[in-house]
Structure 1
């Protein structure tokens, strides 16, 4: 179990995460919601150790995340795969190589730089792309893909780390509703099939309600809500989003999810068949 106790992170005079205590059971699909500046991204970065908490404890079993360094820190970051809003692919490289870069935490930097990948790694990368319906694009340059395709490549790269946790930082913020649905379906299917814990920051409520079993609401660095989607009341939504509560609902995404329910099930069946 991943556990946070009284975790605080400051940037100068700003308290980005303020005395947060929570835990994540293995295999959960958790959506972290809140307006910009609520502390969502910082929370994920503290878990992955892209930032270090000023106070409190972050533990996973016997691992004290705040104290890790060197090889142990690299191993932890491999275990907690990170997916970013802007994909972070190497545009000039082909899709398959971008996925294989996910092995850097295990294989080391030099072999990856010179594209010295084992046959097993190449086979696993191809399988990851196939699961995400991208195998036919394996030899294309990454920058020839659409935003939604690039984000699914980033998910395939994360799978190459063989993670127990996937941290997705606003993975659909820059995508149109159809591609947002495809990305969220991919994360949900991986969560269900591989029993990988998925913690994803989402700006709007709809994706969290549609795909997550549990929702954490943040405001001003605090956790102000932690429960199931059906526990979110109008007053709680107002507390999480403040004056932005009316724009927290992305009606275009909601309508796309509803209108493409059949297509979504077909996509899910594809992933299940590939797995």
Structure 2
């Protein structure tokens, strides 16, 4: 259980996250939606401890995450893997090595710099790439891959961290619809097949409705909605996206990029040649 209690983040006089209370159980897949500047990215970075909260506490399985320092903090960041919009791969390194970088919290920096990985770790990385249908690209430079492939390499890197939670910060914002589907199917599959909790910031309502069991709506740093996709009525969407004097949200404008996939346990992860949403 991940628990946030009165978590607030101030940047000077500006409140990015405003006294958030939130509990997320193991194995949920949660979409976080809201306008640009609503506090979505800040919230994920606070959970991962890339930035510290100004006030409040973060707990996971009874341990106070917001108090961790040093090695314990590095290990938490491994257990709470982060996937970024811009992939954060090392372009000059091959794909397999980029995945193995995910072992840095466990192994330390020097072994990573000198590519000192065990046979078991290399096997783990190869299996992660195979799950993402990227094993044939294992020895290519990262910068030779498409954007969608690079984002799936980032997911494979997260998997070798052996995380309890995966935080995805706008993972499909820079991708075309086809690659966006591949990435979202991958996140859905590791959630269903591995029981990993996934918390994903999303910029489209259609993606949130199609892939997330629970949706959290943020407005001006505060939670204004927390429920299932069916609860996203026009009034709720106005609270999330609307501002004083703004025109009502037209839900039809947000639909059409994603269909609702029929995903069951063991459905597998999509590939270019096996699009499981079809």
Displacement of 1:95 in angstroms is 0.3
1:57 aligned partner: 57
Q: Does the 8 Å CA contact 1:15/1:221 hold for their aligned counterparts?
A: yes
Contact 2:29 2:191 in 1 (8 A): yes
Higher fraction of helix: 1
1:71-150 paired onto structure 2 within 5 Å: 71-150=71-150
Q: What pairs with 1:178-257 in structure 2 (closer than 5 Å)? A: 178-242=178-242, 243=246, 245-246=249-250, 249-254=253-258, 257=259
Report the TM-score when normalising by structure 1: 0.92
Q: Deviations over 1:150-196 (max 9, x none)?
A: 00000000001000000000000000011000000000000000000
Q: Distance in 2 between matches of 1:152 and 1:248?
A: 29
Contact 1:204–1:249 (8 Å) recurs in 2: no
Deviation at 1:251, TM superposition (A): 3.6
User: Matched residues in 2 for 1:236 and 1:120: separation?
Assistant: 49
Q: Does the aligned pair in 2 maintain the 1:165–1:196 contact within 8 Å?
A: yes
SS in 1 for 2:257: helix
2:22: which partner in 1?
Answer: 22
Classify 1:249/1:160 alpha carbon distance in 2 versus 1 (closer, same or farther; 3 Å): farther
Tell me the matched-pair count: 267
* Cα distance change of structure 1 residues 135 and 249 upon mapping to structure 2, 3 Å threshold: farther
Q: TM-score scaled to structure 2, two decimals?
A: 0.91
Query: In 2, are the aligned partners of 1:9 and 1:55 still within 8 Å (CA)?
Result: yes
SS in 2 for 1:253: coil
**Which structure 1 residue ranges, 5 or more long, are not aligned?**
none
Structure 2 CA distance for partners of 1:268 and 1:10, relative to 1, 3 Å: same
